[in-house]
Amino acid sequence: MAKTVYLGMIGDIMHPGYINIINKASEYGDVMVGLFTDKAIASHRRLPYLTWAQRKVVVESISKVAKVVPQDEWSYVPNLLKYKPDYIIHGDDWQEGPNRALRAEVYKAMEGIGGEVIEIPYTKDVTASGIREEIDALGVTPAMRLSSLRRLIAAKPIVRILESHNGLTGLIVEHTKITEGEAERAFDGMWASSLTDSTSKGKPDIEAVDLTTRLHDLNDTLEVTTKPVIFDGDTGGKTEHFAFTVRTLERLGISAVIIEDKVGLKQNSLFGTDAVQVQDTIENFCAKIQAGKEAQITSDFMIISRCESLIAGKPVDDALDRCLAYAAAGADGIMIHSKEKSGADIKEFSLRFREKNSYTPIVAVPTTYNQFTEEELASWGINVVIYANHMLRAAYPAMEKCAESILAHHRSLEASDEYCMPIKQILNLIPGTKKN
């Protein structure tokens, strides 16, 4: 009987390195490709361009691949125990660096099932991550960006979104990453916040900065990023107007709009009951959601309804009634907001909402209850966390201190040393900056 050789791969960008390892594997037996699912990848890396089904079509049509199976974990072990291959093949690049632990557990598992590990020299001149960087530098199509949020929600325990209000903050969301063991940690996308869009213009957050202006400025972020954007649509305006807003956002490749169930002059929610916060009727707000759903062209765009009951001082029961009705009316997600510091209301809401509705994504904005980790929020059933204003709030105190220092010292020496990045660094900050 032919032997089986297991080869784990993401298979997003086909390149000679992959073909080389498939050819080598086929010398030992039938090649079984463990094709990483979005879920397996999302725990450690950015999602691939192609969906699992699309990648499968490509990989299974390579003549030396006998079979493609899903690999649902970053670890190979569950599939090795399930399929018990005679061999597993891997590039020797995992002998060093963060993948060493992955290698050690593979050796142990293969020993347990009586199989063997084959290591071949890693193809250095071309890598999928190198090609990916080059493609990302070219940008992304609106359609690809738009659909990526739904894929992320399906693949990750919790999707991590950070506020961006200009091109520069967009670049921070796009590129900032850290490594934690074998995993890369980065932000999944951007929040186009009405608070920071208006504050950065020196205006109050009362829908005074009109949609056209906000979208014009958002274009700066879209030009230099590839990650999905969730747009803060305030109240969504008049129902008749909201339908146009949805079409415009879709055309730009925005993944989702969040509209809040308030009427009258909108005030920022973090004023809580210090401001008059009047909610729409459930019936009217459901009609607005439905008008938006009817207007949208793609099936991937998301309309997320935001409930302001807790902000307006009403009980969790009121928020539940509303959110269940919004979901039933067709909302693709619900955002529950609160300025309560303990987080108890959000936790109770989320757990009780999940008892009645297991599938509609829940979005939370833990600005005031920021003591909870993403893992804790996810354990309550929350799917998306938005850090809604932190780029702006971080920048302002630094700028103010810098300005005060120049005044106090009658020169900029102290301010430059203490509060400013070096000139050389700012000149090279922007990717693509060229020098002769």
Asked whether position 79 contacts ligand SPV by CB under 6 A, the answer is no
> What is the rounded CA–CA span in Å between residue 373 and residue 379?
10
Q: What is the closest distance, in whole angstroms, from the C-beta atom of residue 74 to ligand SPV in the complex?
A: 33
Q: What is the closest distance, in whole angstroms, from the C-beta atom of residue 400 to ligand SPV in the complex?
A: 21
Q: CB nearer to ligand SPV: give 247 or 390.
A: 390
Of 222, 251, 213, 207, nearest in space to 164 by CA:
222
> Is the Cα torsion angle 76, 81, 84, 87 positive or negative in sign?
positive
Binding mask 387-406 for ligand SPV (x = CB under 6 A): -xx-----------------
Q: What is the closest distance, in whole angstroms, from the C-beta atom of residue 387 to ligand SPV in the complex?
A: 10
Q: What is the closest distance, in whole angstroms, from the C-beta atom of residue 197 to ligand SPV in the complex?
A: 8
Give the residue, chosen from 194, 221, 235, 360, that forms a contact with ligand SPV under the rule CB under 6 A. 194
Q: What is the closest distance, in whole angstroms, from the C-beta atom of residue 346 to ligand SPV in the complex?
A: 13
Binding mask 222-251 for ligand SPV (x = CB under 6 A): ----------x-------------------
Give the residue, chosen from 193, 225, 279, 296, that forms a contact with ligand SPV under the rule CB under 6 A. 193
The residue number whose beta carbon is nearest to Mg ion equals 194
> What is the rounded CA–CA span in Å between residue 293 and residue 302?
9
8-state DSSP, 94:
G
User: Among this protein's residues, is 205 annotated catalytic?
Assistant: yes
- Among ligand SPV, Mg ion, none, the one that 86 touches (CB under a kind-dependent 5 to 8 A) is none
Task: Answer whether 108's CB lies under 8 Å from 136's CB.
Answer: no
Task: Answer whether 322's CB lies under 8 Å from 314's CB.
Answer: no
- Per-residue burial over 137-162, b if 16 or more Cβ lie within 10 Å, else e, is eeebeeeebbbbbbbbbebbebbbbb
Which residues lie across from 406 on neighbouring strands?
none
Tell the residue number behind the tokens 């009403």, with chain if given. Answer: 314
- Among Mg ion, ligand SPV, none, the one that 261 touches (CB under a kind-dependent 5 to 8 A) is none
Of 243, 248, 185, nearest in space to 216 by CA:
248
Q: Which two tokens stand for residue 384?
A: 């998306």
Total residues contacting ligand SPV (rule CB under 6 A)?
Answer: 12
Binding mask 360-379 for ligand SPV (x = CB under 6 A): -----x-x------------
Q: CB nearer to ligand SPV: give 75 or 235.
A: 235
Interacting residue ranges for Mg ion, rule: CB under 5 A: 194-195, 232
Q: What is the closest distance, in whole angstroms, from the C-beta atom of residue 77 to Mg ion in the complex?
A: 45
Cβ–Cβ contacts within 10 Å for residue 275, how many? 15
* Residues in the chain, total: 436
- Among ligand SPV, Mg ion, none, the one that 346 touches (CB under a kind-dependent 5 to 8 A) is none
Q: CB nearer to Mg ion: give 194 or 383.
A: 194
Give the residue, chosen from 26, 147, 226, 269, that forms a contact with ligand SPV under the rule CB under 6 A. 269
Give the residue, chosen from 195, 246, 259, 346, that forms a contact with ligand SPV under the rule CB under 6 A. 195
Q: Which stretch binds ligand SPV (CB under 6 A): 17-25, 43-51, 249-257, 262-270?
A: 262-270
- Among ligand SPV, Mg ion, none, the one that 365 touches (CB under a kind-dependent 5 to 8 A) is ligand SPV
* Long-range CB contacts for residues 261-267, cutoff 8 Å, separation at least 24: 261/235, 261/285, 261/305, 261/306, 261/307, 261/308, 261/322, 261/326, 262/235, 262/308, 263/235, 265/206, 265/207, 266/205, 266/206, 266/207, 266/234, 266/235, 267/205, 267/206
**Catalytic choice (188, 197, 205, 261):** 205
Q: What is the closest distance, in whole angstroms, from the C-beta atom of residue 194 to ligand SPV in the complex?
A: 4
8-state DSSP, 332:
S
Give the residue, chosen from 268, 277, 350, 383, that forms a contact with ligand SPV under the rule CB under 6 A. 268
CB hemisphere CA count around 331 (13 angstroms): 30
Q: What is the closest distance, in whole angstroms, from the C-beta atom of residue 406 to ligand SPV in the complex?
A: 31
Tell the residue number behind the tokens 């072990």, with chain if given. Answer: 77
Q: CB nearer to Mg ion: give 270 or 415.
A: 270
Read off φ and ψ for residue 364, nearest 5 degrees: -130, 150
Q: Which stretch binds ligand SPV (CB under 6 A): 3-11, 66-74, 220-228, 265-273?
A: 265-273
The secondary structure of 42-89 as a DSSP string is HTTSPPPSS-HHHHHHHHHTSTTEEEEEEE-SSSSHHHHHHH--SEEE
Active site residues per annotation: 205
Residues that bind ligand SPV (CB under 6 A): 193-195, 205, 232, 268-270, 365, 367, 388-389
